[in-house]
């Protein structure tokens, strides 16, 4: 199983190249993928659970994989409930001499514009009869079906990657800490027929960041505050401004749990500031337990 940061590209600041394509249909396919990583404890070992939601012409899909701390795949299961009419079911696996059961029920699931269900579903991961990860709103049904007890230590979401589309506005929802509030996140940037584009980031309709003279500052970083947490915002909009084909910008929102961990080696919005790759920044935060990272690929509609 591939490590999550590798999905971000390994080409330094040219992160956008890892998701860009000369074929607009490819970018449309990319929109139908959302990947989340959860950190958990399995037999006193730190493990990562990767959950990927997908949607294509064949139907909805779900992939669940469990890696150890060295990114070696312990087990993985691919669920395509609509393709095979298995809207509910289970799968048993084994890792570290522990029995791992994955349960799902999408029979009443409702969907929005993305590949993730909005409500009416559950996905539960049970290890040794303890529910270490439960997704969805059907909690009672999940515990009844699995006969599992709540785990003493639940899995924590440490990263999320998704694709968003728009012409001027790009919207999503974000939770910057595990038990925190869900916020409306809006990225605004009009590059069509504008001599001096401006990049604006809003959280719950409040402007938290504004970058003028974007053609000179197409890559940079800035720190904002959300729920009292310092959140580093990195951006790379090179493809929006200078690309010859429909491409994407890349945004990363990374929480920092202490001021000492804030990266401040270069002035705000300096294009040379992103000396590390986005994937390296993500890897560092994951290994050091610094918080949560949200990676957004923003595609402009034609």
Indicate if 283 and 171 belong to the same structural domain.
yes
Distance CA 244, CA 156 (A): 40
Identify the domain boundary among 154, 186, 209.
154
Indicate if 72 and 182 belong to the same structural domain.
no
Indicate if 198 and 149 belong to the same structural domain.
no
**Confidence at residue 160, expressed as pLDDT on a 0 to 100 scale:** 94
**Confidence at residue 257, expressed as pLDDT on a 0 to 100 scale:** 57
Distance CA 207, CA 198 (A): 13
**Confidence at residue 28, expressed as pLDDT on a 0 to 100 scale:** 52
Q: Which domain holds residue 199?
A: 4-31+166-300
Q: What are phi and psi of 265, to 5 degrees?
A: -80, -20
Q: Is the pLDDT of residue 124 over 60?
A: yes
Q: 84-110 pLDDT, tens per residue? A: 567 889 999 888 788 899 999 999 999
**Confidence at residue 87, expressed as pLDDT on a 0 to 100 scale:** 85
Task: Tell whether 159 is covered by a domain.
Answer: no
Indicate if 52 and 25 belong to the same structural domain.
no
State the pLDDT confidence band at 114, using cuts at 50, 70 and 90: confident
Residue 44 — left, alpha, or beta (φ > 0 → left; ψ -120 to 50 → alpha)? left
Is pTM beyond 0.85 here?
no
> Greatest CA separation found in the chain?
61
Domain count across the chain: 2
State the pLDDT confidence band at 234, using cuts at 50, 70 and 90: very high
How far is residue 34 from each of residues 89, 263, 269, measured CA to CA in Å? 22, 27, 28
Task: Tell whether 39 is covered by a domain.
Answer: yes
Identify the domain boundary among 154, 186, 206.
154
Closest C-alpha among 79, 57, 8, 80 to residue 37:
8
Indicate if 147 and 192 belong to the same structural domain.
no
3-class secondary-structure state, position 33: strand
Task: Tell whether 93 is covered by a domain.
Answer: yes
At 235, list the tokens.
Answer: 């951006």
Indicate if 174 and 292 belong to the same structural domain.
yes
């Amino acid at each position: 199983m591939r490590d999550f940061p590798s999905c971000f590209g390994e080409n330094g600041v040219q992160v956008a190249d890892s998701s860009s394509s000369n074929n607009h249909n490819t970018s449309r396919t990319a929109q139908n993928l959302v990947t989340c990583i959860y950190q958990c404890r399995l037999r006193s070992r730190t493990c990562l659970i990767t959950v990927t939601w997908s949607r294509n012409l064949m139907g909805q899909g779900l992939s669940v994989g469990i890696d150890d701390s060295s990114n070696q795949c312990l087990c993985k299961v691919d669920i395509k409930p609509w393709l095979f009419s298995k809207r509910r079911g289970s799968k048993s696996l084994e890792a570290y001499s522990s029995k791992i059961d994955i349960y799902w029920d999408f029979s009443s699931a409702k969907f929005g514009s993305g590949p993730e269900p909005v409500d009416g579903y559950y996905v539960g991961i049970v290890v040794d009869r303890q529910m270490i990860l439960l997704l969805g709103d059907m909690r009672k049904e999940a515990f009844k079906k699995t006969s599992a007890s709540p785990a003493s230590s639940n899995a924590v979401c440490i990263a999320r990657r998704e694709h968003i589309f728009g012409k001027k506005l790009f919207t999503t929802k974000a939770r910057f800490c595990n038990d925190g509030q869900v916020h409306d996140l809006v990225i605004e940037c009009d590059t069509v027929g504008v001599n001096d584009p401006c990049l604006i980031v809003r959280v719950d309709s409040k402007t938290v960041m504004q970058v003028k003279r974007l053609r000179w500052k197409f890559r940079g970083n800035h720190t904002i505050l959300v729920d009292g947490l310092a959140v580093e915002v990195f951006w790379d909009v090179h493809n929006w401004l200078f690309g010859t084909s429909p491409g994407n910008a890349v945004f990363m929102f990374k929480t920092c749990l202490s001021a000492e961990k804030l990266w401040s080696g270069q002035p705000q919005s300096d294009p040379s500031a992103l000396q590390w790759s986005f994937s390296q920044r993500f890897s560092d935060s994951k290994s050091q337990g610094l918080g949560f990272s949200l990676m957004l690929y923003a595609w402009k509609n034609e």
